[in-house]
Structure formats: C-alpha cells, structure tokens
Amino acid sequence: MSSKILNRLSLFIAGFLFQSYANAQLFVSPNTNVFVNNEVVFVKQEVELNAASSNFYLRKDAQLLQGTAAAGANKGLGNLSVFQEGSTNNFQFNYWCSPVGGNLASAGNAPFGITQLRDIVDLTNSATSTPLAMNNYNGTASPFAIAPYWINKLVATGGYADWVQVGSSSNLNAGEGFTMKGTSGTNLITVNGVQNNPGSAQRYDFRGKPNDGTISIPVGIEQFTLTGNPYPSAIDLSAFLVGATNSTGIAYFWEQDKTVNSHYIADYKGGYGAFSPGAPGSNGLYVPATFYSYDGSGNEGTATGTGGTYERRFCPIGQGFLIDGNAIGTVEMKNSYRVFVKEGATNYSQFEKNSNQYKTKNTSGYMSPIQSVSGYDYSKVSIAPTPQIRFNTLLNNEGVRQLALAFIPEATDGVDRAMDAMSSSDDSAADVYFVLEDSEFVINALKFDIDKSIPIGFRNTGEANYKITVKEILNFTGASNVYIHDKVKDLFYDIKNSFHELTLPSGVNNKQYEITFKNKASLGLEEKAIQNFVVYQNNTEKSLTISNSLLMDLATCSLYDVAGKIIFSKKDLGTDASYKFPTSGLSDGIYIVKLATKDKIEVGKKIIIKN
C-alpha cells in the first residue's frame, strides 16, 4: 500500500486513535468523532467504534479502505455514516447493497435493515425514521419515510416469484442486495451542496458498523443473485467479476422508465443492462437495458424503450446488481477489490444516474494512478474503448435492443467467461441476440477476422418486425463494411450506412442470419445506385440534399432516427437531378437516409444533423 494513504490517515484522524489496549488498528473511543472530507482512510486491519457515541463520518466522496484478507473483524456499538443518493421517486426501484450493518459489539459483519437509513439534518446529524405500514406503498421525502413493502432480496434463484420480501426486518446479510423504491415530494435541506431530495433523487444516510473483509455470496447454476458493493468505498467491479469463478463474470443492472408512475407490475417498463469486464487492461463494456412491459406475474412482454449508458468499471458505495451463477457454491467479495474512486462518469463509476458535474472524459491514453488495497497499477489500464461495433435493433417499432460485438485478441469464438454477456431476457415477446453455443448473448467478444461470420438470432412469440443497424463503431478500423446476410436468400444488406428491416413469423430463428464484413454476392445495379446517389446534410442551410446524377427513377426517400423510427417519407420523386428537404425542426443527432428506386434498389446513408 502506498505511503500516501498512511500519511493521509494521520492527517485526518490524528488525536482520535488509541491502539495500545484495544487490539484494533483504528480504535475510536467513546464521545469521539472522526470526520473525513473528500479523502481516503486506509486501515490495514480492523476498526473498532467502541461505544454508541463513537462516530466516523465520511463526507464529500470520502471513503474507508481496509486491507485484511480474512473475514470481517470490525466491532463496536458506534456508527460509520456515509451519504448516497438514489435516482428514483416512490414508484421506481433502485437496487442497493448496504455498506454498513447493525451495531453489534462483537467482531464480524452484522445484518442490515432499512431502519438504519436516516434522514439527513446537517453535516453530522441525522434523524431516525419509522418505516411505514406494509399497506402504505408510498414513501415520502418530508417527513422522511420509507415504504418497506418494496424491500426485497433475491438469493440464487431464477424467477420473479422467488423474490423474498424483507420489509422492515433487519435480516439483510452483508453482501445481500435489496430493492427499494424512492420517496415522493421534495426535501429542501442541503448539505455539501446537495439537496436531500430535489424530486426523484432521495439522499440517505447509511449508519452502522462498516462492513469489512471477505464476504461469501451464494450462487446457483443459471440462477440470479442480487448482490452489490458491500463496503464504504468503491470496488473494482471488473476485478470482482473476473475473480468470481462460480459466476458467469457478468453484472446486470436494473433500469426503469422513470416516466411511469405506477405500483402495478403490469405498468412497469424496465430491464437489465449488462456489464462485461472485457479485455484485460480495459474498462469493460456496458450495454443498456431494453425496457420491457410486464404482466401481472412479472413476465416480460412488449419492448417499450431503452435505458441509459453508464460507466461501470468501479462500483460506487451502495450500488446493487445481479450476478448469474454457473456452479452451485459461493463467490467472494474481498477487501482486495476495494479502491478509492470518486463517483462520476469520468472516473468510470456511476450509481445508475447521469451526472452533470463531470466533463466529457478522454478516450485515449491510460488511467491516472488509483489508490487500492491490491496495489494494482491502474496507470497501465487503457481508457480507450474496447474495439467494438454496436448494433441497435428496433423491436416492433417500440423498444430498442442494443448488442455489442467486441474485438478482443484473447477471446475465442465460443463462450468466454467475464467477456461474453448472456441476455437476461428469455421470456420477452420479441428479441434479437448473438447466438453462442445455442444460447442468447448481448455482448459477444471474439478475435477479429474479416472473413468471420457471426450468427445472430431472432425470437418472437408472434409475428414481429425488426429494424437493425450499426449504431456506432468505436476504436475499430478493421472492417470498412458491415452486413447482415440472409443465408436462405443469399442476400447481403448494408447495415453500416443503413438499416435492414425484416418481419418474421412467430418462433425462434437462430440459423438464417449472420453478421459479415464482406458482401460475397455480385453487386451489379446495387453498386451502380450506390455510386449514383450522393447524400449530403448541409447544417448551415439546415437541409438534406440528394444528388441523382444518373437520373434514376426515385420511388421513395425516407429519413429515420438511428433506432429505425421514421421521421418522414417522400414518395414518387421521379428522375430529378437533385432533391432538397428541410431539417431545421429536427434534434441534433445521427439519422439514416434510405432511398429506393422504382427498380426496387435500396441505398442507405447516415448523416449527422446539428441545428
């Protein structure tokens, strides 16, 4: 461990430590407060908050790191206090994992309950909250009150019906994640520049004995467990997932449409984004959730939207997530995964919310040094995106499924643990995915070869419409073209510059389609049309111009957003040498222009509109 951490320890808590008789490396005596602001405290062994009046305050991104490799040994009746903000109102869930447990004098991690979540009064004081009755479904920001009806956990299981209601009981073990809805209304109290609740963003004071040491988390074969970061510091999520060999090495994060204000399951719109550690020495990959509607039993139905893009390499305090087991047993959360990383997109650490306080991060070079328990040299981690192609597919003109094809030299064409991410949506009405070993994946890592064909599958309970396109290509120049190949018709469709639309009957289609980087068919008239039409977006004039030098008979010109939703369509345009369409009323972004001639030849082109 670097000397910097130890020096900071003496600066911030000198005068409060008494080690000689307490058998604890950090002993906080009765009637003593330790206050740490915007810094890290490293304790190699255990912490003892000796009495109920022994307090340890972490404020403004301050964190506590501990270095023992054994089971948790913290003890005492005092409290560590750390703030964290949710990102939902009283109708939507956040997934949590507490950094503290109950106040027990004996050594070891203790169970947690929501009565330990307190209402912030000022920098060091907070008020207790009495949980609402189980038949009251709406928490409130002021007065502060949590609805325990929505506190649930999920331990090594696979179905919605297997969620266990915890309520106001204090029986959440260290490392057990839990669901909780936010609060309604606002709370105007502001501490360190953050309002307790400006609306749909309740801040909580977690108070209790800090969790520490090795924590065992049960997993089962093809069963989900809700866990998370159980410490009062950030963790290296990639390091945990790679080390959790009894799991698939992928973390799943719940996202929910925050415009839906209902407690009925049938009204929910949400899904799970997937994080993969990806290539060694990278910051991993995250694909956003596809939002699905749900029936009364919690089964996925129609796709309704898409979630956000978040940085997940470092998991902030309090963040909960799902892991999927590949064996019966346990995985271990360890102190060696703990790091001092402040929350924010530029630090690759976000609690399911977009922050406006951080500037756009760099996408080249290497990470700055990070203080960690393991001593890992993070300055060797590239901050360049993993070379990848991202695909967006519009499902039945409603929700969007995003897939990521990652090019990693260490990957194989089969399933690679902690690289390939299996889909969590196995009962949805319509879905698209990579096919790996007869299973469905949303992230596919492989070694690039321009001659490779990557199977892609479609599954739908009724007739379904799909529009698939390349959303973006990141840090990759190995292929100049991307196609979807219909092997039955032996036709290749350009999805880099356009999208391909197909309507499929109900069933599973895992054999007919594949992604390729070469068009092995004769182009003929298609190549002639591609060369003929010049598509140009003039952002100065706020217009779209199309040149038709060979005077081909143009049947339609349609404009779509990058997800495949139509913006406008013009028909029977004839054989004019050029066409111009206004774009002043459109939002900034990437759009797809799709042209079709009377000879049924299609040409696509992506444009960028900046108004």
Residue 525: other Cβ atoms inside 10 A = 13
Average of per-residue pLDDT across 61-74:
94
For 540-582, what is each residue's pLDDT tens digit?
999 999 999 989 999 999 999 887 889 999 999 999 999 999 9
pLDDT at position 427: 79
pTM over 0.85: yes
Average of per-residue pLDDT across 372-392:
95
Interatomic CA distance for residues 381 and 277, integer angstroms: 12
Report CA-CA distances (Å) from 437 to 414, 441, 444, 451.
7, 10, 12, 20
Backbone phi, psi, residue 66, to 5°:
-130, 150
Query: Are residues 494 and 533 in contact, defined by beta-carbon separation less than 8 angstroms?
Result: no
For 433-464, what is each residue's pLDDT tens digit?
999 999 999 999 999 999 999 999 999 999 99
Look at residue 224 and tell me whether its pLDDT is greater than 80.
Answer: yes
Out of 251-255, 331-335, 428-432, 518-522, pick the least confident: 518-522
Domain boundaries in the chain? 26-210, 235-315+344-353+366-516, 526-609
Give percent of the chain with pLDDT exceeding 70.
Answer: 92
Nearest alpha-carbon partner for 88 in 138, 136, 130: 138
CATH architecture of 526-609: Sandwich (2.60)
Residue 487: other Cβ atoms inside 10 A = 12
How is residue 137 written in tokens? 């479904």
Average of per-residue pLDDT across 299-323:
91
